[in-house]
Amino acid sequence: MSAALKIDQFNLLDDESCEARIRAAKRLLGPRLAILGHHYQRDEVFRHADFTGDSLKLSQLAAGSGAEHIVFCGVHFMAEVADIVTGGSRNVILPDLAAGCSMADMANLVKVRKCWNEISQVLDPDEKVTPVTYINSAADLKAFCGEHGGIVCTSSNARGILEWSFARREKVLFFPDQHLGRNTGHRMGIPLSQMVLWDFTKPMGGLSAEEIRQARIILWKGFCSVHQMFHPAHIEKFRREVPAGKVISHPENAFEVCEHSDYVGSTEYILRTVRAAEPGSHWLVGTELNLVNRLRDEMKPRGVTVQFMSPLVCMCSTMFRTDPQHLAWTLDNLVAGHVVNRIRVPEAVAAPARLALQRMLDLAD
Model confidence at 294: pLDDT above 70: yes
Architecture of the domain whose range is 227-308: 3-Layer(aba) Sandwich (3.40)
Which one is the CATH code of 104-224: 1.10.287, 2.40.50, 3.40.50, 3.30.2000? 3.40.50
Averaged pLDDT for residues 98-125: 93
Asked if residue 316 has pLDDT above 80, the reply is no
Q: Residue 58 above 70 pLDDT?
A: yes
Q: What is the DSSP string of 284-336?
A: EEES-HHHHHHHHHHHGGGT-EEEES-SS----TTGGG--HHHHHHHHHHHHT
Residues ≥6 apart with Cβ < 8 Å to 254: 179, 227, 228, 230, 231
Mean pLDDT, the chain, whole residue set:
93
pLDDT value of position 315? 59
pLDDT of residue 102: 82
pLDDT digits 0-9 by tens, 243-271: 999 999 999 999 999 999 999 999 999 99
Please report which confidence band the pLDDT of residue 60 belongs to, taking 50, 70 and 90 as the band edges. Answer: confident
CATH architecture of 8-100+318-345: 3-Layer(aba) Sandwich (3.40)
Q: Average the pLDDT over 221-246 and give the result.
A: 94
pLDDT at 57: 84
Element of type H or E holding 273: helix 267-275
Return the pLDDT at 364.
Answer: 75
- Residue ranges per domain, the chain? 8-100+318-345, 104-224, 227-308
Which residues, at least 6 apart from 220, have a Cβ–Cβ distance to it below 8 Å?
106, 107, 115, 173, 174, 175, 176, 177, 178, 181, 198, 200
Q: Is the pLDDT of residue 23 over 90?
A: yes
Same topology for domains 8-100+318-345 and 227-308, yes or no?
yes
Whether 205 contacts 217, CB under 8 Å:
no
Contact 248, 286 (CB under 8 A): yes
How many whole angstroms separate alpha carbon 74 and alpha carbon 59?
11
pLDDT at 342 over 80: yes
Q: What pLDDT is recorded for position 47?
A: 94
pLDDT for res 312: 73
Q: State yes or no: pLDDT of 188 exceeds 80.
A: yes
Mean predicted confidence (pLDDT) in 228-257: 97
The mean-pLDDT minimum among 151-165, 176-190, 294-308, 316-330 falls in: 316-330
Strand partners, 93: 71, 342
pLDDT tens column, 116-136 = 999 999 999 999 999 999 999
> Residue 41's pLDDT is what?
87
Tell me what pLDDT residue 226 has: 82
